[in-house]
Structure 1
């Protein structure tokens, strides 16, 4: 039976009861005894023992309440003990493993919980308990490292927002690495006071436009210079012997590149990095067929973009397949070297206006090039 207890705020403070009386009430299951027990426990918590120690009888009462009492009593007890440094450790640990509404105040504040207790909760308790531990103020480096080691996305996000957690340098490095796949980490980490310049530049590779601008402002990142560095760092599956002569685009060479793209696509290995490395390798036909396949465009449409008086169509085509706008200026320079200075330099550098979604970029590209009904697109 659940007992609802209404407390009268004008009532005189409850006198701390004797331990023997509380033990007698704890063994009495009547509703009246439960109400008196709850009021007695609250009074006892308000008048905590001055010497910081509890008698064995009081310890027995508290443990009995935690294991046998109704949910309402356990909830009130946990709230009252949240800041008590004299609370019995065994009792606090029992309540900290209770359902999250009961455990939450203890996980957030209890000075009795030690690192070993928190590590046990990370292993044994629910996801909500783990998140509460990760948000705990002044979380130790040992526990923060354990949270990061478990690599649970929601718990990682909680520790990333915890500005007082003692996260080690290695812990930050691993959090930044996790942010590759866990987008929820990127915002908190980009604003975290513990983020270093080196890790900020690493995150710059994969965050969105808004966070990139935030990082560039905070750490004074040169976006154009950094884009060139990203371009140079991209790895693909194409390798060329430096002593090999630069290939000449012929019908045979173009057919070979087209087949290579089909094979890479069939194997699931066709990525935007292929296009970038193809430009670096000065293989213009491979650039054309890669962009056609990745974007679902026709080869003639891609060639229209390559020969346009403005880089706008080529930018939209590259944005549609996920090539970063910070990388595009370097890619554009390489393409002009291969294609007689085209695309031309008319118009504004639209890549400086901000990022686009892939779908929006694809629509913009198709609006700028003529439709090509005579040629089948390479299937995506």
Structure 2
């Protein structure tokens, strides 16, 4: 093989003192020579081209760098120094092809680039067919919403325990990210439970619809476990003190909506259940099961039956969710509309059914 320096006389002078046009031409000629036999070159020849191109690339114009990066990104064996140089280019159009697919970039290089480059660079890395846990740790920590969503949706990505923890933390305010994480095949039961714990009901339902039967079963179990932890059954609660309070209010003729609203806002669950029992005639155990379930509908039925104002029903919904969860405004508005449309006659028939059934 003829050395590239013999094909381009005065190459050293071009690098040191040549004008931009001559540098671009030299870069293209050396690159073309390399790609002619790239798959057949021995390591010493690849190293030769690596050294030549490494000095010329910084002097090349943008289109030349983009073309070179695109062609190098598809090689299994490529000049590593030049690949690393182009992958660190501030222009995402140059670095992107290499960051997305070049096998010549190892985890150490990817982590280094992810720690200091732009969100565009991070997004390109997140699209690689395979991502190590070290790399995703940086992506989740530094990446914006698009980067993190892409990494979570990447089936070839691995996540450390810390990475998953950070991912789930960010998913609590991002429904799209919740769906991406919830569909991952390597999501543990514990991580699924934590993911659902911070998700809104509408996101949980959407996730349930898009996963397979096995994951649906896991979601049911996780939701049931969360409901049980948030609202212990009547057998584990002591309603006696609450019943005494409600009885005293009843005898004083002050058991009304204002009292119920006060209990709900103070998150006094037992008093709320006891008050609703007195107002509707339903048993404590029945009410506890209905209110602590995974839907808001029973509260709407109860509220319409006894003629509660929306603000009281809203307070009861927040009580059911617990102090650490705040529903999305869109969800609350949908529930408000459903409550406004619910007929009293329909609600009363449902309550009558509950009484006969339980």
Compare 215-224 and 199-208 and name the one that shifted more: 215-224
Q: Please name the residue that 2:5 is paired with.
A: 19
Kept in 2: contact 1:163–1:192 (CA 8 A): yes
Q: Which has the higher contact order (CA 8 A, sep 6+)?
A: 1
Specify the SS of the correspondent of 1:248: helix
Offset of 1:200 from its aligned partner? Answer: 3.2
Offset of 1:35 from its aligned partner? Answer: 4.3
Could you say if the C-alpha distance between residues 165 and 307 of structure 1 is closer, same or farther in structure 2, counting changes exceeding 3 Å?
same
How far apart, CA to CA, are the structure 1 residues paired with 2:221 and 2:51?
68
Offset of 1:141 from its aligned partner? Answer: 2.2
Q: Please name the residue that 1:232 is paired with.
A: 228
Q: Please name the residue that 1:219 is paired with.
A: 215
Could you say if the C-alpha distance between residues 133 and 320 of structure 1 is closer, same or farther in structure 2, counting changes exceeding 3 Å?
farther
Query: Size of the alignment, in residue pairs?
Result: 294
**1:176-201 deviations in Å (ceiling 9; x for gaps):** 34322232222222222212344334
Could you say if the C-alpha distance between residues 31 and 215 of structure 1 is closer, same or farther in structure 2, counting changes exceeding 3 Å?
closer
2:140 paired with 1:155: no
2:158 paired with 1:184: no
Offset of 1:67 from its aligned partner? Answer: 1.1
Kept in 1: contact 2:28–2:64 (CA 8 A): yes
Could you say if the C-alpha distance between residues 193 and 279 of structure 1 is closer, same or farther in structure 2, counting changes exceeding 3 Å?
farther
- The equivalent position to 1:38 in structure 2, one of 28, 31, 35, is 28
Specify the SS of the correspondent of 2:217: coil
Offset of 1:162 from its aligned partner? Answer: 1.3
Kept in 2: contact 1:320–1:359 (CA 8 A): no
Q: Please name the residue that 1:362 is paired with.
A: 336
2:273 paired with 1:248: no
Could you say if the C-alpha distance between residues 18 and 39 of structure 1 is closer, same or farther in structure 2, counting changes exceeding 3 Å?
closer
**1:83-137 deviations in Å (ceiling 9; x for gaps):** 4455443322221121111111111222332222111111110001112222222
How far apart, CA to CA, are the structure 1 residues paired with 2:30 and 2:180?
44
Offset of 1:223 from its aligned partner? Answer: 7.5
Q: Please name the residue that 1:346 is paired with.
A: none
List gaps (5 residues or longer) in structure 1: 1-14, 265-273, 289-300, 328-355, 371-380
Specify the SS of the correspondent of 1:138: coil
Q: Which has the higher helix share?
A: 2
Q: Please name the residue that 2:304 is paired with.
A: 305
Could you say if the C-alpha distance between residues 305 and 168 of structure 1 is closer, same or farther in structure 2, counting changes exceeding 3 Å?
same
Could you say if the C-alpha distance between residues 157 and 323 of structure 1 is closer, same or farther in structure 2, counting changes exceeding 3 Å?
farther
Could you say if the C-alpha distance between residues 364 and 59 of structure 1 is closer, same or farther in structure 2, counting changes exceeding 3 Å?
closer
2:114 paired with 1:122: yes
- The equivalent position to 2:97 in structure 1, one of 105, 114, 117, is 105
Specify the SS of the correspondent of 1:189: helix
How far apart, CA to CA, are the structure 1 residues paired with 2:273 and 2:86?
64
Kept in 1: contact 2:100–2:126 (CA 8 A): no
How far apart, CA to CA, are the structure 1 residues paired with 2:23 and 2:190?
63
How far apart, CA to CA, are the structure 2 residues paired with 1:319 and 1:217?
35
Could you say if the C-alpha distance between residues 227 and 168 of structure 1 is closer, same or farther in structure 2, counting changes exceeding 3 Å?
closer
List gaps (5 residues or longer) in structure 2: 232-236, 281-299, 322-329, 345-358
* 1:121-140 matches, cutoff 5 A: 121-140=113-132
How far apart, CA to CA, are the structure 2 residues paired with 1:192 and 1:179?
13
Specify the SS of the correspondent of 1:210: helix
How far apart, CA to CA, are the structure 2 residues paired with 1:66 and 1:25?
12
Could you say if the C-alpha distance between residues 319 and 221 of structure 1 is closer, same or farther in structure 2, counting changes exceeding 3 Å?
farther
Q: TM-score, normalised by structure 1?
A: 0.61
What RMSD over aligned residues (CA atoms) do the two structures have, in Å?
4.4
Compare 43-52 and 28-37 and name the one that shifted more: 28-37
Q: Please name the residue that 2:55 is paired with.
A: 64
How far apart, CA to CA, are the structure 1 residues paired with 2:276 and 2:316?
19
How far apart, CA to CA, are the structure 1 residues paired with 2:219 and 2:51?
65
Q: TM-score, normalised by structure 2?
A: 0.64
Could you say if the C-alpha distance between residues 71 and 226 of structure 1 is closer, same or farther in structure 2, counting changes exceeding 3 Å?
closer
